[in-house]
Amino acid sequence: MRRNDLYAGITRPAGDDPWIRMACDEAVASVRAGGGPFGAVLVQIDDDSGATLRHWRDRNHVVQWTDPTAHAEVCVIRQAARDLGVFHLHRIEQATARMPQPGPTSHCILYASTEPCPMCYGAIAWARIPHLVFAASRHDAAAEGVGFADADLHDDMARPYRDRAAMTVHRMRPGNALDAFDLWRRVETVPY
């Protein structure tokens, strides 16, 4: 897919949007603190009034925490989910959330300084965050002198397993491969 086709129809002017600016400021703060150049802000919005209820901000902590999953988006999602006591951030119920909200439901918007990598995009999707806004593209992150090759991961995920470059993948099916799913069907669970 051509670069222009990838972003066709989604680009908007930033104007005075404080959240995307805050995400980019968080990325700069991350670099100054010795981390990667990535920041994220998660904003909780009341569904009835459209009012901003609160926000969380975080940055890349991969180097500081020696944790390859400590990307800004994942860190900010973890903070908000823990604080709110929910794991879905698309329809936060007043009755079940740990933090107060005026209306019966709210949702979150994620602002990222850079287009999320496949792991972060997956985390955003699993958290069911309905809106994502990002500033720099994966191509900006891969530019000479920057060197974050997320574009390669995006491309690799589109290939069949046998053709992927990031790692060799094998599938094995031991006799107990489906036991956890069978048990899940029979016990009372919290759907997610």
The DSSP bridge pattern shows strands 105-114 and 131-136 to be: parallel
Query: Model-level pTM?
Result: 0.91
Res 1: pLDDT: 57
Q: Tell me how far apart the alpha carbons of residues 64 and 97 are, in angstroms, rounded to a whole number.
A: 31
Strand ranges inside the chain, DSSP E? 39-46, 52-59, 92-93, 105-114, 131-136
DSSP result, 103-120? SSEEEEEEEEEEPPPHHH
Q: Which residues contact 106 (CB under 8 A, 6 or more apart)?
A: 44, 45, 46, 47, 53, 92, 94, 97
Residue 176 has pLDDT above 90, yes or no: yes
Residue 152 has pLDDT above 90, yes or no: no
- Picking from 115, 119, 118, the residue whose alpha carbon sits closest to that of residue 138 is 115
Query: Could you report the per-residue pLDDT of 121-143, keeping only the tens digit for each?
Result: 999 999 999 999 999 999 999 89
Task: Give the CA distances from residue 109 to residues 45, 76, 180, in Å, rounded to whole numbers and listed in that order.
Answer: 8, 11, 33
Query: Could you report the per-residue pLDDT of 21-31, keeping only the tens digit for each?
Result: 999 999 999 99
Residue 192 has pLDDT above 80, yes or no: no
Query: Could you report the per-residue pLDDT of 8-62, keeping only the tens digit for each?
Result: 999 888 888 999 999 999 999 999 999 999 999 999 999 999 999 999 999 999 9
% of the chain with per-residue pLDDT over 70:
98
The pLDDT confidence band at residue 2, using thresholds 50, 70 and 90, is low
**73 annotated active-site:** yes
pLDDT average, residue stretch 164-181 = 92
Q: Looking at 90-99, 113-122, 143-152, which range is the least confident one?
A: 143-152
The pLDDT confidence band at residue 4, using thresholds 50, 70 and 90, is low
Catalytic-labelled residue, pool 26, 73, 115, 188: 73
